Structure 1
Amino acid sequence: MVKLEGTYELVSQENYLEFLKSLGVPDAEAEKQSQLKEPITIKSVSDSSIVMSYSGQEVAFPVGKEYEYSIRNKHTIWTVATISGDTITFKTKLNADGSLTEEKVIKITDSGLTSTTTSSKGTKAVRQYKRV
């Protein structure tokens, strides 16, 4: 079994800027966010929670239960996290009525992780990280 916990640095991304714009992120903010190279740290993973740190924010996601929290721009989102072997999946409602969603599938290997995010609008972004 692959160790899920660790710190991961971004090494490449595909279609991320377009993905952000498809969600309605203003062009200037989308450009800024697409240039960020902040690491992801998975601090702990258990049957009941996933604790992660990203963009200076630590979040403890309860597994299998909807969790409400605010992202860096103070926007509230709702996420359900699940774990299956070496894969963590986040299904997120990006607005209160659930009409805009994304699914992020994080596949972890010994050398890094691949984060594939697909929006309800059909836009997909892939980001590759190396384990450090």
Structure 2
Amino acid sequence: MAKLPGKYELAENKNFYEYLVELGVPEDRAKNAKEVKGTLEVKVDGNKVTLANDNPPHTTDYIIGQEVDEKMGEAVLKSTASLNGNVLTISTIRDGKPSGTRTYTFSDSGLEIVFNSSKDGKSLSASRIYKRI
């Protein structure tokens, strides 16, 4: 778990705008989300992993293996985190149905978050790449 904690700065988005639009996010909000540059701080305390974004400000505490409520915009999701080495996976349920995963792969130089969802039977994915600061 040594590679997880730290501060990370967003360096690149891959297919993020398109992913958000496909999920139904209004284009103006998707464009704003794509343009946001900020940092993500990751803290680990036992089985608790805290992810804190500074722009927009948003913090969520995940307990490995336990479902937690996670606020995303106006929705409250049920999310469960699992940890396998330097890979943190967060599986999310919305309205009682699986809605996707976020896979955080940590390295000495940074972090890549891969978003996977499906809508109307179509698989959707995007990624955000962060450098460790």
User: Structure 1: any 5+ residue segments left out of the alignment?
Assistant: none
Aligned pairs (5 A) from 1:3-82: 3-46=3-46, 48-54=47-53, 55-71=56-72, 73-82=73-82
How many residues of Structure 1 are paired with residues of Structure 2 in the alignment?
A: 128
In structure 2, how many angstroms separate the alpha carbons of the residues matched to 1:34 and 1:57?
A: 16
1:2 deviates by 4.4
Query: Match of 2:96, SS?
Result: coil
Over 2 Å off, 4+ runs: none
1:3 deviates by 2.0
1:60 deviates by 1.0
Identical counterparts, % of pairs: 27
Contact conserved, 1:105 with 1:116, CA < 8 A, in 2?
yes
In structure 1, how many angstroms separate the alpha carbons of the residues matched to 2:126 and 2:45?
A: 24
TM-score, length of structure 1 as denominator length: 0.89
Query: Match of 1:123, SS?
Result: strand
Deviates further, 49-58 or 101-110 = 49-58
The one-character-per-residue Cα deviations of 1:82-129 (angstroms, maximum 9, x if unpaired) are 111010001112x31316x12111110000011111112311101111
TM-score, length of structure 2 as denominator length: 0.88
Q: Please give the root-mean-square deviation of Cα atoms over the aligned residues, in Å.
A: 1.5
Contact conserved, 1:44 with 1:52, CA < 8 A, in 2?
no
